[in-house]
Amino acid sequence: MTMTLPSLLIAVTLLSSFPAQAQENLPVEARPVASFRDTLVFAAPPPPPNLGAPGQRSDGAGSRGCGHVAQAPAATTAPLTALIPLYESPDTTLAFAKTSAERPTLWIYVPYQPPNIARFILQTSAGETVYQTDVELPEAPGVIGLALPDTVPPLAAAESYHWFFNVYCQSPPPLAYVEGWIQREALSSEAAAQLAQLSPPEQANFYAANGLWHDALTTAAALRQSHASDSSWNDLLQSVGLQDLAVEPIVDF
């Protein structure tokens, strides 16, 4: 099934002059490298075929509580939301993003606080669990970064991984959840050398121009914390239809 992107949901630019089919047949390391642009634009790559479960970028369960006032989610209009691109077609919706990092950071807006609990799970496309951990929820609504630790085996290039972030009252089933897919695309030596010469804002732009969402957003998060005037974070979230969350604080990085 061929996935399409609505023009108002996500800005798509060509990674190179190579046809899409020709790019798919090239080794990951041999694909042409796009240079960064003056204006940050996220070039959404085509998702892999036959991923299985489509994923869920947001969960509108903000009105559901746990039966106790202290355990209910914070009063907010924004639901639990993974900060990732969303691919839509007439038949399904796919939450998918790429990274060049062996152990990337995923970003999630969380409107829930303790005593609610959360768990992050990473699986192979075959359903084998690679990593899972309990996540301490922040004391206030905001964006958290989930970095894979050094104890997790590096993501294999060109392999697709399925991840889940579940929020519970105190035990299953989930009160709310989001899920999506991630795929690592290794940088060529030429791309790595080019990247090393760039400033952090240019690096965010470079990653975005090459469709490496998680790398771009993690770089933009660091810029947001250190340079309040940098617009990379806002630009990236706007490019995937999440502009309403751009003003939310980063509460755990």
> What are the residue ranges of helices labelled H in the chain?
20-24, 189-196, 200-209, 213-226, 232-239
pLDDT above 70: percentage of residues in the chain: 76
Q: Does domain 50-187+243-252 have CATH number 3.30.310.80?
A: no
Yes or no: say if 207 and 199 are a contact pair by the CB < 8 Å rule.
no
Tens of pLDDT along 52-87?
Answer: 676 788 886 554 556 544 444 454 568 999 999 999
The type of residue at 53 is A
Q: Residue 234: is its pLDDT beyond 50?
A: yes
Q: How far is CA 83 from the centre of its chain?
A: 5
Domain boundaries, the chain: 50-187+243-252
Q: How far is CA 119 from the centre of its chain?
A: 17
d(CA 181, CA 96): 5
- In terms of C-beta density within 10 A (0-12 exposed, 13-18 middle, 19 or more buried), how is residue 9 classed? middle
Average pLDDT, integer, range 198-208: 93
d(CA 54, CA 71): 30
Q: C-alpha distances in angstroms, 209 versus 23, 154, 179, 196?
A: 15, 24, 24, 16
